[in-house]
Amino acid sequence: MRAMTTPPNLLEQTRPSPSVKRALLLTSAALVAVTAGLAQAQPHAGPEGPVLRMQAQASTEVAKDTATAVFIIERDGSQPGAVQAEANAVLASALVDLKADKALTVSSGSYTTYPRHAPDGAIESWRVRAELLAQSSDIDAVSRATGTLSGRMHLGSIGFSLSPSARQKIEKTLMREAAERFYENAREAAQALGFRDVELIEASYNKSQSARPVPMARTALSAAAEMPTVPMQPGQTTVTVSFSGSLRLKR
């Protein structure tokens, strides 16, 4: 049997031409360059120490410096329009008198009108309930307001809170204290574990939320009753800030 041979013209056809050879070489060079660039872009995976998670806080007790009094008027009648007009007249005069004291910040509270029903479900009367709020860092000014509205509106509640400006000032001081305690505790823990120092990886800062005014017990005075000036004594509140985060232990 004769061995099969490839015709010379077919071998020449399968060999790449010089232009194809150049294209292949350029493509290979480009792939090598891209591969080298990707290798340089990868982060260097060096040795890393263990991670310590730590939390520290600082807090203090401070006196509440703002008082808020809520005054209420309630009126009943057979016609909602007439009842609203009566209540509005009292509100208007009370606003004028309260705003005359420049130490007070006065604002309107809730205002509702609703029917009162008889046992058979029919509307037998209408009630209007409205509120005025008097707030101040001058506790005596809020106390005076209770006497100013005597006989016109009754005292619904009195609450005390810490003003935003005072809270912000205290939090700045506590923030430095909490940060120092955070690092101090972290270094002590690192040394106890046989490490020399720590390096911060990430941290978060937290602070206590501003508390709403805590009201005193509601009074049982009627709107027509004489309301004496109420003596007031604000209590204490706790302001707290904290740091939590991760640190790398270093030999």
Specify whether the CB–CB gap between 189 and 106 falls below 8 A: no
Specify whether the CB–CB gap between 242 and 179 falls below 8 A: no
Instruction: Please tell me the predicted confidence (pLDDT) of residue 71.
Output: 97
Distance CA 71, CA 215 (A): 12
193: which residues sit within 8 A by CB, 6+ positions away? 52, 249
Token pair belonging to 66: 């703002």
H/E run at residue 97: helix 80-99
Which domains does the chain show, CATH number per domain? 51-61+167-208+243-250 (no CATH), 66-161 (3.30.70.2970)
End-to-end Cα separation, the chain, in angstroms: 80
Token pair belonging to 194: 């046989």
Instruction: Please tell me the predicted confidence (pLDDT) of residue 23.
Output: 43
Distances (CA, A) of 175 to 21, 54, 200: 69, 16, 17
3-state secondary structure of 213: coil
Q: How many angstroms from the chain centroid is the CA of residue 220?
A: 36
53: which residues sit within 8 A by CB, 6+ positions away? 244, 245, 246, 247
Token pair belonging to 37: 């660039």
| pTM (predicted TM-score) | 0.65
Instruction: Please tell me the predicted confidence (pLDDT) of residue 1.
Output: 46
Instruction: Please tell me the predicted confidence (pLDDT) of residue 20.
Output: 42
126: which residues sit within 8 A by CB, 6+ positions away? 76, 77, 78, 79, 80, 83, 113, 114, 115, 116
Instruction: Please tell me the predicted confidence (pLDDT) of residue 27.
Output: 39
Chunked into runs of 10 residues, the chain (251 residues) has average pLDDT values of 48 49 41 34 49 96 96 96 96 97 96 95 96 96 93 93 95 97 96 95 89 49 55 90 96 88
Distance CA 51, CA 182 (A): 15
